[in-house]
Amino acid sequence: MNFRNSLINLGDKSAASFALMAKLAMCLIVIGITLDATGRYLFSSPILGMQAIVEGMLQPIVVFFAIALAARHDGHMRVDIIRLEKWPLLMRLREAIFSLLIVVFWLLCGWQAGLRAYDAYVEGQWPVGQIETPAVIAYSIVALGCFMAALCHLIPRRPSQDGGE
């Protein structure tokens, strides 16, 4: 196995592990909201802080940890305004430029979220909402997901079986 294949395997496995965490968080959201609604409407006793846990921690995990898998499968939406099929060199140049811009975008988002997590830690912004849901962890989740998305955009993908990339 050469270096490129091991790098591709690393990207695939790391994206799959982040996607698994996103799936588990989605299951926890469904279970938590179901239990909260059941307690609220049947027993007039909702689960205190469930909304804060879902909004502050689980939703960022679902959104930002699933981005890496979308990057690995080239699942982001594209709009080709200028068709370049007749000029393959220009098409590859456009893909390279936009790939670089995507990586820069995710790195900047991750950097800003990391700075915000550090500021929240320094300022002691731990409680959010009704219970002690740490803002530091929520911002760290966003930063980690953004950095993973940038990494998965940088690591080459496996060539698809239908002949395209």
Per-residue pLDDT of the chain (165 residues; tens, 9 = 90+): 688 788 888 888 888 899 999 999 999 999 999 999 999 999 988 888 888 888 888 999 999 999 888 888 877 666 677 777 788 888 888 888 888 998 999 999 999 999 998 988 888 776 655 566 677 888 899 999 999 989 888 887 776 654 444
pLDDT of residue 128: 55
Structure tokens at 17: 């592990």
* Cβ pair 137, 147 in contact under 8 A: no
The number of distinct structural domains making up the chain is 1
160 in any annotated domain: no
99 in any annotated domain: yes
Instruction: Give the CA count within 13 Å in the CB-facing half-sphere of 34.
Output: 6
pLDDT of residue 163: 46
Work out whether the CA dihedral 3, 5, 7, 9 comes out positive or negative.
negative
162 in any annotated domain: no
Q: Which amino acid is at 35?
A: L
* Cβ pair 39, 47 in contact under 8 A: yes
Among residues 110, 111, 84, the alpha carbon closest in space to that of 98 is found at 84
35 in any annotated domain: yes
43 in any annotated domain: yes
* Cβ pair 156, 22 in contact under 8 A: no
CA-to-CA distance for 58 and 62, rounded, in angstroms?
A: 6
161 in any annotated domain: no
Residue 37 Ramachandran class (φ > 0 left, ψ -120 to 50 alpha, else beta): alpha
Q: Which residues pair with 128 in a beta bridge?
A: 131, 132
Range of the domain at 16: 3-154
Among residues 147, 138, 141, the alpha carbon closest in space to that of 109 is found at 147
| Three-state SS at 26 | helix
pLDDT of residue 154: 85
